[in-house]
Structure 1
């Protein structure tokens, strides 16, 4: 979403399309099973990466709040997370190489052109059959975005949005969350990409848009400033969690999970969430 000049108007549509959360139950305990770690195997220089001495990281086109500027900037939640993980694994910032990939490349069973990928990928048992996940680094929620000047701009509860036309990204988590929250009380309008839905919201074609709340906060404050996040939807089933993605049965999975766990235990993950994600104060609608 970071283009300049004549391309700026296209950024929200193109890059909001790159959301990676999907429909289906999530169970981090079942899906992310890194296994026991041999401490010596995780020592700096011992990891069998694609290129000796280098950690290759897969990511899509950068957009906030996950990447601020290019991934190499170290700014944005996932960019900062990757460099923190790399540091725990013994890699200096200059030893991290970024590879631009599609979401399909990340979750497919094909051999990966990266050692790990950071692309807002939800941990699901289905995906865990094709790829490895690290320990989760973020629990996600679904946010509700409305137009500042729309009929539902003052919505403060689920009931306040009954009768609305609600946009979702087809086949993603938002669809299940909307159906669970409202049933037939709203009209669901699917879009192939979140950016298309946000454009429709700004033009009045839909009354609300539902997507990952952290992405929604960035969309409403940076890319579509005529909109606002009014709340989050109640969780459906198991909490939706994001993990770093590795090749199936990767020799790196346990070490990467250990690095994520250590960042969680010492408060680094909390600090990164506070710095880059602005959704802590968004209330849950009831």
Structure 2
């Protein structure tokens, strides 16, 4: 009789254990950003003012942050559910492939090479390579005016080299370690222009300490289609596309543009249609 009582109790415990395990599986699913609440991990830049920046007080702000927060909400996650993770340019594909993040919104241009490794939702912004010059500089009105000018970009970037090879062969390239150093050089007149994506330039120019000091050239030298990266084959792609469509429709996209780029007088392109990649 005692053996039968122990067996019955063990059966009850086993049933309870299986039930708990099943509930735990649902929680894990929520944590992977599939909707219904729970934690979600999003990759952004930490060092790009106006786009993705971690502030000294530990907050996160910028256009990419606003877009990612909106998307996460539409996926069923509150702002407090978001774990922000730094997504440096060279690490983005690996982070998605390993499952370190659920999606990445980090000035992530959609290219055929990247699409072989990850999937993209969007695009959600069409940017262009441009230049930033001093507000009182009237000598640089077109890319050819960069000839004989000191042109700055960050080490490892192809932006300045593209200008020299295709548009201004006599430009004097200056490679600095960070965009902030280029801005300091631009302000002190050690350099004449800084080149990278216009959205990044606008983000810097919109900062309080730089407002009114710089202006964008408006040259539109390349097309950069920013997308939200997800793991290859992820069902999040469609859900994120639906969220981006709603963000444009309800006016939140336009508000995010004005909030983050407005002080730089950034003449942004209209919100792109989902799947519409401008070559």
Q: Tell me the TM-score normalised to structure 2 length.
A: 0.69
Q: 1:82 aligns with which of 68, 85, 109?
A: 68
Cα distance in 1, alignment partners of residues 230 and 237 from structure 2? 7
Shift of 1:67: 3.9
Larger Rg: 2
- What corresponds to 1:3 in structure 2? none
Q: Secondary structure at the match of 2:234?
A: coil
Distance change (3 Å), C-alpha of 1:282 and 1:93: closer
Q: Is the 8 A contact 2:42 2:103 kept in 1?
A: yes
Distance change (3 Å), C-alpha of 1:192 and 1:250: farther
Q: Secondary structure at the match of 1:137?
A: strand
Shift of 1:89: 1.4
The answer to whether structure 1 residue 66 and structure 2 residue 51 are counterparts is: yes
> What do the CA deviations read for 1:123-149 (whole angstroms, capped 9, x no partner)?
111111112211111111223223467
**Which stretch of structure 1 is more off in the superposition, 108-117 or 183-192?**
183-192
Instruction: Say which structure is richer in strand.
Output: 2
Q: 1:240 aligns with which of 224, 227, 237?
A: 224
- What corresponds to 1:249 in structure 2? 233
- CA RMSD between the two structures: 3.3
Q: Tell me the TM-score normalised to structure 1 length.
A: 0.68
Q: Is the 8 A contact 1:170 1:190 kept in 2?
A: yes
Q: Is the 8 A contact 2:133 2:217 kept in 1?
A: no
Q: Is the 8 A contact 2:50 2:206 kept in 1?
A: no
Structure 1: gaps spanning 5 or more residues: 1-44
Structure 2: gaps spanning 5 or more residues: 1-26, 269-279
Distance change (3 Å), C-alpha of 1:248 and 1:167: same
- What corresponds to 2:129 in structure 1? 142
Distance change (3 Å), C-alpha of 1:171 and 1:233: farther
